Amino acid sequence: MRLEKDQTSMGLLLASRIVLLVTFQLITTILVVLIKAPTSVIPAYWTVYVTLTNGVLFVWMLKVIGVIHYRKIFAFSKPATLTFIKWLPLLLIAAMAPNLALAYVLYGDIEAGAALLIYEHNTFMIVFNLTIFPILQGLTELPFYFLLMAPLLRARTHKLLISIGVPVILLSVQHMFMPFHLDGTYLVYRGFMFFGFALCIGILLYKRPDMLPYLVILHILMNASFMAMQFM
């Protein structure tokens, strides 16, 4: 059964990441309640259920597109490297400017993101957050949206706007569930903080699919550096 020809399978693909994020956070909540631990610890382990989500989707992605096809994205060339270097300033601005602006407008503090997402942890979790979390996040997230989802949407709808727009929107709004808080200000902040970055990625990968391996590496480094803010 091909995903692009099956409406149910396509629906599962589109909803899968957010559903898994919510599911793993719910499981975490239940476990915390059962062991009678403070519920305040639940958000602190958001990187764990994001990593579990990535693990499930990484395996699913490899099953759908094939290991060999996935490996082929990690092809580097001098022209592609030079193109990425030219795009890099715009990508970094798109990743940082909306984030900082929203944090200031909504919270009055440009460092609100760090306060909301970075927690004190033991040595194991610190190592986990600096290694396993960013690496699996990088290897899974952008390939899932733009190597798997975007081509399937293009094959099914034959509409460029949908095949680019849907992955861009989902890539942006999924952050509302990392972790999920029933708070309007938080949801607006998390939902839109990376929209500009997601849009730049969607446009760049449509024009230059060979930029994906560079974006994967950039994504890993960005997540690792964000987690390293715990030491600042």
Q: How many CA atoms lie within 13 A of 73 on its CB side?
A: 24
pLDDT digits (tens, 9 = 90+) for 97-156: 999 999 999 999 998 988 899 998 999 999 999 999 999 999 999 999 999 999 999 999
Distance CA 97, CA 94 (A): 6
Write the pLDDT tens digit of every residue in 182-232: 999 999 999 999 999 999 999 999 999 999 999 999 999 999 999 998 876
For residue 60, CA distances in Å to 54, 134, 175 come to: 10, 19, 21
Q: What is the model's pLDDT at position 22? A: 96
The rounded radius of gyration (Å) of the Cα atoms in the chain is: 18
pTM higher than the cut 0.75? yes
Confidence label for 9 from pLDDT (cuts 50, 70 and 90): confident
